Amino acid sequence: MTKFINPGLVKTSRRNVLRGSMLAGAAAVTGAGAMAATHAPKINKINATSSMIYKAAGEQAADSTAEPVDLSGYTRVKQELVSPPFAPEHEQVATGGPKIIEITMETTERLMVVDEDTGAEVWALTYNGSVPGPLIICHEGDMIELTLRNPVDSMMEHNIDFHASTGALGGGGLTHVYPGEETVLRWKATKPGCFTYHCAPGGAMIPYHVTHGMNGAVMVLPRDGLKDKDGNPLQYDKIAYIGEQDYYLPMDENGEYRKYEVAGDDYADSLEAMRGLIPTHSVFNGAVGALTGEHALTANVGETVLMIHNQANRDSRPHLIGGHGTYVWESSFTDAPLRDMETWFVRGGSAVAAMYTFEQPGVYAYLNHNLIEGVMLGATAHFVVQGEWDNNLMEQVVAPREFTT
């Protein structure tokens, strides 16, 4: 068993022990093997270069002579994070002054079934055990104070890069936690919008961790809530938090998905699969069918749902079959929302919010409208909507019947 610890970030004697095993492991899995034959950049060199950036970020903060921050005027609150597709309790319009929002996340490595039909599974690298990691919600001007814990029995080091934050690689340079360590990071939410966050331990471990599920979203609401282009307030009744995850699962010579004993054992095989850039799966909330059938999302006619779509690695194009994105914020919440979109765009490495009020009952598919990814690779969710049918909007005037010529 090899513990995967990033070289170049070593500070203590304990880490030096771990570093030795990492270097041995790295040589074994990325040395003169299959990678070299491709004439592609050498992973060892990429890892070393990446480590320098993280080390510099950490040292800059440690050596800083900056003034301590004045936290007077902030109220401390705890936010209990919940598993997707749900959202933590929150206000849409902020009351009172800015807050320091305390959250805790644990970097959990766990075996997850990706597709029961084929037996595909992955040693998922997660925040709080779910893919995607939990949705965090705050208002512009609030601070997020994260306690990040890496359980002692983890195989890997982890950290977190918040796209919503400013400095030190989004916090990635200040949050490296080895198994058995915890750290606390505080950052100010200065830009309103939806943003992704993800693990980024350095080098090839960055895409490895992200494509093993280690990503999620933060929503930074304007203090006075969401607005249309004329400044009229927009409210939602519920949030559907959807994380799209591309997996690159190694297969054996018979086309069967490989099984691994512990997290990290698939490292070399996964890197090879990732180089093809063709995911074996692109799923919502971690697994095929996680949001369909008995796990379908629900709503009533007249209810307004804010659909938050996170994709930390790859472009996506969500579409709600039979509905629309009435208001879509592909960029900042300070921009006027796009209107009545049929399909909207999620740039790989971002999160997007779309608002829709259901007008008809029935089952709606919410999917990636690259239909190969949506239908064949798994990126489909269902909304089951209850209520009265409106013939004014649609009516089957004649049921299908034979016709005579």
Stretch that binds Cu ion, among 20-28, 152-160, 364-372, 374-382 (CB under 5 A): 152-160
Residue closer to Cu ion by CB (options 192, 207) is 207
Helix axes 13-30, 267-275, angle to 10 degrees: 50
Residue closer to Cu ion by CB (options 208, 257) is 208
DSSP state, 237?
S
Report the residue number whose CB is nearest to Cu ion: 199
E strand spans, 45-142: 75-78, 99-115, 120-127, 136-139
Q: Residue 198, interface with Cu ion (CB under 5 A)? A: no
From residue 98 to residue 127, what is the string marking binding to Cu ion with x (rule CB under 5 A)?
A: ---------------------------x--
Q: Residue 381, interface with Cu ion (CB under 5 A)? A: no
CB of 198 to Cu ion, least distance (A): 8
Rounded-to-integer distance, Cα 186 and Cα 178, Å: 19
CB of 177 to Cu ion, least distance (A): 9
User: Is there a catalytic annotation at residue 198?
Assistant: yes
Residues 6+ apart with CB under 8 A from 67: none
User: Is there a catalytic annotation at residue 138?
Assistant: no
CB of 67 to Cu ion, least distance (A): 32
User: Is there a catalytic annotation at residue 116?
Assistant: no
Strand order, beta sheet including 297-300: 297-300, 380-386, 362-368, 318-320
Three-state helix/strand/coil letters over 150-213:
CCCCCCECECCEECCCCCHHHHCCCCCECCCCEEEEEEECCCCEEEEEECCCCCCHHHHHHCCC
User: Is there a catalytic annotation at residue 214?
Assistant: yes
Q: Which residue has the tokens 């009516």?
A: 395
User: Is there a catalytic annotation at residue 90?
Assistant: no
User: Is there a catalytic annotation at residue 369?
Assistant: yes
User: Is there a catalytic annotation at residue 209?
Assistant: yes
Residue closer to Cu ion by CB (options 206, 328) is 206
CB of 324 to Cu ion, least distance (A): 36
Closest CA relative to residue 176, chosen from 205, 153, 196? 205
The pair of three-digit structure tokens given for residue 299, joined into one six-digit string:
């709503």
Q: Residue 199, interface with Cu ion (CB under 5 A)? A: yes
Q: Which residue has the tokens 């949030």?
A: 239
Q: Residue 209, interface with Cu ion (CB under 5 A)? A: yes
Interface with Cu ion: number of residues (CB under 5 A): 5
User: Is there a catalytic annotation at residue 272?
Assistant: no
The pair of three-digit structure tokens given for residue 401, joined into one six-digit string:
């019947």
Candidate list 161, 244, 246, 269, residue with the active-site label: 161
Between the CA atoms of 199, 226, 314 and 342, what dihedral angle is there, to the nearest 10 degrees?
160
Residue closer to Cu ion by CB (options 140, 157) is 157
Residue closer to Cu ion by CB (options 81, 214) is 214
* Ramachandran class of 225: left when φ > 0, alpha when ψ lies in -120 to 50, beta otherwise: left
Interacting residue with Cu ion among 149, 158, 163, 314 (CB under 5 A): 158
User: Is there a catalytic annotation at residue 176?
Assistant: no
Q: Residue 214, interface with Cu ion (CB under 5 A)? A: yes
Residues lying near Cu ion in the complex (CB under 5 A): 125, 158, 199, 209, 214
Residues tagged active-site: 158, 161, 163, 198-199, 209, 214, 319, 342-343, 369
